[in-house]
């Protein structure tokens, strides 16, 4: 699709970006690099989902393993997903270096906790290699237990102050930033219109929807495609380090039901236990803590990490968004070429968000994006005539 943006002066913007999270910021920064400056970013505080306040790392990998997603959606979709996410991570690293923000790249590890999971990791590694994406297997003797197969993804993690990165990005586009609650969007042959709760309206050639679950309110046809869910991170203190694996930062384990982040030599964050929530937390857009999820993470740390003296320090509730087919939605809205959107990243939102925002900027500037496969675009949900 060729996106054409004739400049029509200051009364009509070239682009309006709705949402100031990772996707909106990634799009705005990329637009500036392309020399497109006649745009605004509306920080839709009512609907935008900000997961960066407590984050200490950015993952370029979705939590799900590749085997099920490739079987369902095909290898091209999976490769496009990963390339967009890696692009986002690389751009965040460049932005951090440019602004003097400390950021360290590191590996992500998937650990097998059973024979069946080991078989799945072997299949996953074959998929990665067939796509030409680096991945390797190692055998490690971990936690005074037994040999475990480990899938290693190098340079897929960025350890940094994520909130500082996001706030610095907002400062860089501050002159373009507006704060409103968007209640309606309209399109015509001439332009698109954004209307806000405080009775303001803005016109543009292109609208970028980057406001998470708020997209479903502005475009009801996407409502049943976006699935909110609850989860939580739990921080534990321990007396002796469970790690015999050096500088491992992020670990997916037990079919990715648990995610572990090595915060320091004395504390460990564990996310998981969502299966203990009612309906696995699916369908709820309000963050809340669950004691049963906390207990599941505590039990996992005791059994898998062999920790006996664990002290729970705190928990952080969060909400995220998945899609009905578990692939992100990125690209032009079918039937409405003035509207581009991106959402549904499920656990890798900051990296995929920055990458997706950059992809949308590519479409706006040149009409094409090499990383964006058709399988990730909204048109996959279009019903046949």
362: pLDDT confidence band, cut at 50, 70 and 90?
very high
Q: Please report whether residue 39 resides in a domain.
A: yes
SS3 144: coil
253: pLDDT confidence band, cut at 50, 70 and 90?
confident
Q: Please report whether residue 58 resides in a domain.
A: no
Q: Across the strands, what pairs with 235? A: 269, 314
Maximum mean pLDDT: which of 38-47, 67-76, 145-154, 170-179:
170-179
Q: Determine the average pLDDT of the residues in 143-162.
A: 76
pLDDT, tens digit (0-9, with 9 covering 90-100), for 279-310: 888 888 888 999 999 999 998 888 777 777 78
pTM of the model: 0.89
CA torsion 305→306→311→317, rounded to 10°?
30
Show the CA angle centred on residue 181, arms to residues 175 and 186, nearest 5°: 95
Residue 113 C-beta-side C-alpha neighbours within 13 Å: 16
The more confident residue out of 248 and 239 is: 239
Maximum mean pLDDT: which of 179-183, 271-275, 317-321:
179-183
Least confident of 112-121, 289-298, 367-376: 112-121
pLDDT, tens digit (0-9, with 9 covering 90-100), for 2-25: 444 444 444 799 999 999 999 999
Residue 355 C-beta-side C-alpha neighbours within 13 Å: 28
One domain for residues 140 and 239: yes
Nearest to 125 by CA among 80, 67, 63: 67
One domain for residues 22 and 49: yes
Q: Please report whether residue 114 resides in a domain.
A: yes
Q: Determine the average pLDDT of the residues in 215-223.
A: 92
Q: Determine the average pLDDT of the residues in 67-90.
A: 88
For 153, the token pair is: 């993804």
The more confident residue out of 252 and 297 is: 297
Q: Please report whether residue 91 resides in a domain.
A: no
Nearest to 43 by CA among 135, 152, 199, 177: 177
Q: Determine the average pLDDT of the residues in 215-241.
A: 87
255: pLDDT confidence band, cut at 50, 70 and 90?
low
SS3 148: strand
Least confident of 31-35, 149-153, 247-251, 309-313: 247-251
Sign of the torsion angle spanned by Cα atoms 368, 327, 216, 54: negative
Question: Residue 207: pLDDT above 70?
Answer: yes
One domain for residues 247 and 258: yes
One domain for residues 218 and 233: no
Burial of 175 (0-12, 13-18, 19+ CB in 10 A): exposed
One domain for residues 130 and 275: yes
Residue 377, pLDDT score: 96
Question: Which residue's structure tokens are 């705190």?
Answer: 314
Q: Please report whether residue 152 resides in a domain.
A: yes
Burial of 1 (0-12, 13-18, 19+ CB in 10 A): exposed
Q: Please report whether residue 97 resides in a domain.
A: no
The more confident residue out of 203 and 384 is: 203
Least confident of 164-173, 250-259, 268-277, 354-363: 250-259
One domain for residues 254 and 313: yes
One domain for residues 181 and 301: no
One domain for residues 341 and 352: yes
Q: What total number of domains does the chain contain?
A: 2
Is residue 196 a contact partner of residue 182, using CB atoms and an 8 Å limit?
yes
The DSSP 8-state label assigned to residue 282 in this structure reads B
CA torsion 265→236→320→158, rounded to 10°?
0
For 114, the token pair is: 């059973």
Residue 243, pLDDT score: 52
One domain for residues 370 and 250: no
Question: Residue 30: pLDDT above 80?
Answer: yes
Which CATH number fits the domain that encloses residue 207?
3.50.50.60
Q: Please report whether residue 99 resides in a domain.
A: no
Which CATH number fits the domain that encloses residue 316?
3.30.9.10
Between CA 8 and CA 260 the distance in angstroms is 50
> What's the domain range around 374?
13-53+163-225+325-381
Question: Which residue's structure tokens are 């004691």?
Answer: 291
SS3 118: helix
For the chain, what is the mean pLDDT? 85
- Final residue before a domain boundary, out of 321, 351, 369: 321
The more confident residue out of 145 and 123 is: 123
Residue 285, pLDDT score: 81
Residue 5, pLDDT score: 44
The DSSP 8-state label assigned to residue 376 in this structure reads G
32: pLDDT confidence band, cut at 50, 70 and 90?
very high
Between CA 108 and CA 385 the distance in angstroms is 44
Instruction: Name the helix (H) or strand (E) containing 130.
Output: helix 115-130
The more confident residue out of 121 and 168 is: 168
Residue 150, pLDDT score: 81
One domain for residues 130 and 174: no
- Final residue before a domain boundary, out of 271, 304, 321: 321
Question: Residue 82: pLDDT above 50?
Answer: yes
Residue 248, pLDDT score: 56
Q: Please report whether residue 5 resides in a domain.
A: no
Maximum mean pLDDT: which of 90-99, 137-146, 275-284:
90-99
- Final residue before a domain boundary, out of 291, 321, 351: 321
Q: Determine the average pLDDT of the residues in 26-53.
A: 80
SS3 362: helix
154: pLDDT confidence band, cut at 50, 70 and 90?
confident
One domain for residues 182 and 212: yes
Q: How far is CA 172 from CA 178, 215, 371, in A?
A: 14, 25, 26
Between CA 85 and CA 69 the distance in angstroms is 16
One domain for residues 231 and 313: yes
């Amino acid at each position: 699709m060729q996106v054409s943006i004739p400049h029509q002066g200051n009364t009509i913007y070239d682009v309006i970006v709705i949402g100031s999270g990772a996707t909106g910021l990634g799009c705005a920064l990329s637009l500036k690099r392309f020399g497109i400056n006649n745009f605004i970013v509306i920080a839709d505080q009512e609907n935008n989902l900000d997961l960066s306040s407590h984050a200490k790392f950015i993952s370029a990998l979705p939590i799900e393993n590749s085997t099920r997603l490739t079987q369902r959606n095909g290898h091209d979709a999976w490769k496009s997903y990963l390339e967009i996410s890696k692009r986002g991570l690389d751009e965040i690293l460049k932005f951090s270096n440019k602004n003097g923000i400390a950021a360290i790249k590191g590996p992500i590890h998937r650990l097998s906790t059973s024979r069946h999971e080991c078989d799945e990791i072997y299949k996953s590694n074959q998929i990665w290699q067939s796509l030409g994406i680096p991945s390797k297997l190692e055998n490690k003797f971990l936690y005074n237990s037994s040999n475990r197969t480990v899938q290693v993804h190098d340079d897929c993690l960025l350890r940094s102050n994520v909130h500082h990165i996001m706030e610095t990005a907002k400062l860089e586009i501050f002159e373009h930033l507006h704060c409103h609650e968007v209640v309606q969007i309209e399109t015509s042959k001439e332009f698109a219109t954004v209307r806000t709760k405080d009775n303001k309206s803005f016109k543009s050639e292109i609208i970028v929807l980057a406001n998470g679950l708020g997209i479903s309110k502005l475009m009801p046809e996407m409502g049943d495609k976006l699935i909110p869910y609850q989860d939580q991170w739990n921080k534990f203190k321990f007396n002796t380090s469970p790690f015999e694996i050096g500088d491992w930062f992020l670990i997916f384990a037990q079919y990715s039901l648990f995610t572990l982040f090595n915060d320091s030599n004395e504390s460990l964050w564990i996310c998981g236990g969502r299966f203990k929530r009612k309906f696995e937390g699916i369908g709820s857009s309000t963050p809340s803590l669950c004691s049963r999820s906390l207990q599941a993470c505590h039990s996992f740390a005791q059994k898998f990490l062999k920790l006996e003296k664990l002290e729970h320090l705190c928990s952080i509730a969060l909400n995220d968004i998945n899609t009905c087919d578990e692939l992100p939605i990125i690209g032009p809205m079918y039937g409405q070429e003035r509207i581009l959107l991106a959402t549904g990243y499920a656990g890798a939102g900051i990296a995929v968000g920055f990458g997706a925002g950059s992809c949308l900027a590519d479409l706006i500037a040149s009409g094409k994006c090499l990383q964006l496969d058709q399988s990730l675009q909204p048109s996959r949900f279009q019903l046949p005539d």
